[in-house]
Chains A and B, each alone.
Chain A
Amino acid sequence: MNFFLSYVILAEIFAIMALSTNFLVGVIGIFSVSQAALMGVGAYAYAVAAMAGLPFPVALLLALVLCAILNVLTSLPSLRLAGDYFVVTSFGIQLVATAVFINWSDVTGGVSGIAGIPAPSFFGVSTEEPRNFIVVTTLALIAAATGYALLMRSSYGRVLHAIRLDELAVVAAGRNVLRLKLGISAVSGAYAGLGGALYAIFLSFIDPSSFEIHVSVLILTMLVVGGARTLSGSIIGPFILLSIPQFMALVSLPPTMVGPARSLAYGVLLVAFMLLRPQGIAGRRL
């Protein structure tokens, strides 16, 4: 039973990550392959803060705010410019983040990572057990999904869609497109921070390999398979994608081949969906 709980918890955490990606890729239509990097920043920030004895809400808030600020600062230079600069920025952030996680060992523990990250307790109940922690992740996902829905229903959401459809026309209406983009980029960062913090708590151990570029590709695949720009897609995607390793377990592969085999499957899914169903399962044109 524990196994099923873990699956749901992870899928919920990744659904938050998919929503984070959705804001960028689905809503304003800019490429992102650095969500895992931000998730990592959130995870490390939470881990360091919690290990230093800060209470859960403070540590969580720290992770969220740090990720939001970081995402805004790193994307600011390339969002000022039209064109494909953002693709380079996104790859760059991901690779630099991995380098930082590995090399800044005083804080991140280097390749060996950080172990023993404490789980919070609420009203005297520890969430270390998955059956307790699932309440936390479920509530977090509900909050994140509500936030997404509220955003999409606001006038801000409409402007964001308009930016994707015709940025120049939005400028011609007197809108400050850069400010609007940075706003959503902050939200996307905060979501990634939330996902990262929950991930750190759930596994109680983090290392750089959890936040590599493969994971960013995985998150993007989740979004694409589920369907960009939809709430349901961001939730369906992670549940489907995280079940793939279970199927792969049926074929016995040498342990070193499991990772590449999975990533290969993600690549095939990305290409196949772009060719056959770019709108994903839940269906909106990308």
Chain B
Amino acid sequence: MLLLQLLVDGAVSGCAVGVVAITFAYVYATTGVFHVAHAGLFTLGGYIAWWLSGQGLPFPLALMGAVAVGAAVGAVMQKAIYETLMKRRASPLVQLIASLGLLAILQNLVALLFTPNMLQFEAVSWRLSMLDIGPIHLSLPQIWTLASSLAILAGLVLFSTRTILGKRIRAVSSNRALAEITRLRPFDVYVVVVAIASGLVAVPSVFIGVDQAMQPYTSVLVLLTAVIAVIAGGIGSLPGAFIISVVLAVLQNLVLALMPGRWSIAFTFMLFIVFILIKPTGLFQTRLKRAS
């Protein structure tokens, strides 16, 4: 039964990674920025919620606060940094290095303001509550992770296919020049997209933080797994990226059971290399390509 438990635990953390993957993909496909600072926003979300709940705020409000701060910081980043670089027609490399700088700023700001060490949500009373479904143990935060991640996936897919704003965003990402002519104003759309992605990515961050613990620098690992999932799933397919995230996390968990230590990242990376050797176009959709 240990195997089953490992599978379930893997699937739950996979859903969290899946949210990171689809929000990253959303930004990448729309703005064309390889937004590594997304990992910094993931870090930020958890710590904001931790701090707010430590101030005595009820958990739902703390979570909403984290989402709001994430969205605001994301929007400022896009407006102040990426937009400036885009308007100057900076090369993708320059945008990427700036994004790396933003990542360093966010992670280390969190470390300085809070702590560089492990942190737990002491103020959240239900974090240790367990639920037994047959032979499987699930913590309450795990259930919330699962539920919120699936809700975000469904919400983002519906948003992008059913709402006017969502469709507009897709129009901009498929053809920036055309969108400019039709007055969709790509730069405004980008701000909205980065804000949405940055707000949403706070959710899994908070629930994973409540369930396990937080540390400012681990988010790079999460992002790497997420990006690999995006590539394997195909940049244009949100569900594809999400499913691959779950598969990767389950595999990582199984590897963890077989080999002690921190080899799981090596395993994931090896999968990536094998993958791009045999099928670089992704399982579900088109090749990894910037929006142009």
Question: Are A and B associated in one complex?
Answer: yes
Residues 236-275 of chain B: 1 if any A CB is under 8 Å from the residue's CB, otherwise 0?
A: 0000000000000000000000000111011001001100
Query: Is A116 among interface residues, defined by CB-CB distance under 8 A?
Result: no
With A77-B273, A96-B266, A286-B91 as given contacts, are A83 and B289 in contact (CB-CB < 8 Å)?
yes
Query: Is B105 among interface residues, defined by CB-CB distance under 8 A?
Result: yes
Set A77, A88, A257, A274: member contacting B94, Cβ < 8 A: A274
Set A96, A269, A271: member contacting B81, Cβ < 8 A: A271
| Contact B277 A77, beta carbon cutoff 8 Å | yes
B164 to chain A, nearest CB (A): 30
In the complex, how many residue pairs between chain A and chain B have their CB atoms under 8 Å apart? 136
A30 to chain B, nearest CB (A): 8
Query: Is A91 among interface residues, defined by CB-CB distance under 8 A?
Result: yes
| Contact A217 B288, beta carbon cutoff 8 Å | no
| Contact B266 A100, beta carbon cutoff 8 Å | yes
Residues 70-98 of chain A: 1 if any B CB is under 8 Å from the residue's CB, otherwise 0?
A: 00000001100101110111011101100
Residues 260-286 of chain A: 1 if any B CB is under 8 Å from the residue's CB, otherwise 0?
A: 110110111111101100100000001
| Contact B224 A268, beta carbon cutoff 8 Å | no
| Contact B273 A267, beta carbon cutoff 8 Å | no
Instruction: Please give me the residue from chain B that is nearest to A213 by CB atom.
Output: B220
- Chain A residues near B105 (CB, 8 Å)? 264, 267-268, 271
With A95-B269, A278-B94 as given contacts, are A267 and B288 in contact (CB-CB < 8 Å)?
no
CA distance A78 to B117 in the complex (A): 35
Query: Is A99 among interface residues, defined by CB-CB distance under 8 A?
Result: yes
Query: Is A256 among interface residues, defined by CB-CB distance under 8 A?
Result: yes
| Contact B272 A88, beta carbon cutoff 8 Å | yes
Interface set, chain B 269-287, CB cutoff 8 A to A: 269, 272-273, 276-277, 280, 287
Interface residue SS majority, chain B: helix
Query: Is A112 among interface residues, defined by CB-CB distance under 8 A?
Result: no
CA distance A40 to B135 in the complex (A): 45
| Contact B93 A91, beta carbon cutoff 8 Å | no
Query: Is B85 among interface residues, defined by CB-CB distance under 8 A?
Result: yes
Query: Is B72 among interface residues, defined by CB-CB distance under 8 A?
Result: no
Query: Could you show 16 A-B contacts with beta carbons less than 8 Å apart?
Result: A31-B93, A33-B100, A84-B92, A85-B280, A92-B228, A92-B265, A95-B265, A96-B269, A99-B262, A100-B266, A213-B220, A260-B107, A261-B112, A263-B104, A264-B109, A267-B106
Interface contacts beyond A31-B96, A89-B272: sample of 6 additional A-B pairs, CB < 8 Å, sorted by A: A81-B280, A95-B221, A224-B97, A267-B103, A269-B101, A275-B81
